[in-house]
Amino acid sequence: MTAPRRTVLKHPALAYLIVAFTALCCTAVVHSKLLALVYLVPLVAALYVARTATVVDEQGVHARAILGSRTVGWHELTGLRLDRSGAVYAVDSSGGQLKLPCVRSTRLDALIAAGNGRIPDPSAAR
């Protein structure tokens, strides 16, 4: 039996380059101490990039946000729902849906592979 894996699906590291560029652009408008509050925008953006993720481990699927996280356990997970915009939602047995950050329909294979067969493939049902 293999040891359980923990897979983290995050934003690409290139997103920090966008945050750095935003901080550089903020420098153009900062002319006083009060306007220095503009630097909070790239700071919050960096926090968002660092914190938001979808984690798949032996307990289930965890959606991490800036100010908290939610989990759908394996015994509760009934499937995935794909939105027209490409967003992916985990559907639990009560019908509730949990949006999975950093997972789009284009990265669905990585999520299904991380689930070790416990996540049903929504494209196979078609």
Examine the pLDDT at 70 and tell me if it is beyond 50.
Answer: yes
Answer yes or no: is pLDDT of 3 > 70: no
What tokens were used for 95?
């019908």
Average pLDDT of the residues in 103-125: 80
% residues pLDDT > 90 (the chain): 57
Listed residue (45, 38, 52, 36) closest to 17, CA to CA: 45
For residue 1, pLDDT beyond 50: no
Q: Which two tokens stand for residue 58?
A: 């032996």
Of 60-74, 77-91, 102-116, minimum mean pLDDT range? 102-116
- Round to whole Å and give the CA distance between 52 and 50: 6
Q: What's the CA gap between 54 and 98, in Å, rounded?
A: 11
